[in-house]
């Protein structure tokens, strides 16, 4: 997510759409951790933090509730540690740059990491068009790959490539 925000702020003229697939859609000054805590203060942790400040996603049903077992094994084998700062640092974006890039959102209706109510709350703050819903868990590429691909293609087909310098 932070790369999406970074590029949206840095080179908005080169981006046709920012597509959020069951992802955090945060306004300027918000952080991942702060957003989760404000909406779900009693939520069980979904990651651990080691002594060096790196995070690792906890195994469990919350993330992969609809993902086939073979893809869960692949995901866990390729999981890597992330700096805690990606969760705690407030983002810095401007309306003039990041806000000028069209946004699309693909909801995961069975997401237990980002419940649908949180996904829609974020969209209310930063509207997206189009918005699609898929009956899947948090990991759309493994729990609903064909539907995700179809929606991504539909979004890509709406991009004005000359305006986006693509």
Q: Identify whether 64 is part of a domain.
A: yes
Q: Identify whether 163 is part of a domain.
A: no
**Could you report the per-residue pLDDT of 63-92, keeping only the tens digit for each?**
888 999 888 888 888 888 888 888 888 999
79 versus 24: the higher-pLDDT residue is: 24
The pLDDT mean for the chain works out to 86
CATH code where residue 97 lies = 3.40.50.1820
The total of structural domains in the chain comes to 1
Q: Identify whether 134 is part of a domain.
A: yes
Range of the domain at 27: 2-156
Q: Identify whether 164 is part of a domain.
A: no
Phi, psi of 116 (to 5 degrees): -55, -35
- Residues in the chain, how many? 166
Name the 3-class secondary structure at 145.
helix
Q: Identify whether 165 is part of a domain.
A: no
């Amino acid at each position: 997510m932070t790369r999406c925000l970074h590029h949206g702020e840095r080179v908005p003229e080169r981006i046709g759409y920012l597509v959020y697939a069951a992802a955090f859609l945060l306004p300027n000054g918000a952080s991942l951790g702060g957003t989760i805590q404000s909406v779900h203060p009693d939520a069980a942790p979904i990651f651990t933090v080691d002594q060096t400040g790196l995070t690792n996603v906890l195994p469990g049903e919350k993330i992969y509730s609809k993902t086939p077992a073979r893809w869960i094994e692949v995901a866990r084998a390729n999981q890597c540690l992330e700096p805690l700062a990606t969760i705690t640092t407030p983002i810095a974006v401007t309306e003039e740059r990041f806000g000028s890039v069209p946004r699309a959102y693909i909801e995961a209706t069975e997401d237990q990491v980002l419940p649908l109510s949180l996904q829609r709350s974020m969209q209310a703050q930063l509207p997206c068009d189009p918005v699609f819903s898929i009956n899947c868990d948090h990991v759309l590429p493994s729990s609903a790959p064909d539907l995700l691909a179809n929606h991504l293609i539909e979004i890509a087909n709406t991009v004005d490539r000359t305006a986006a310098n693509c």
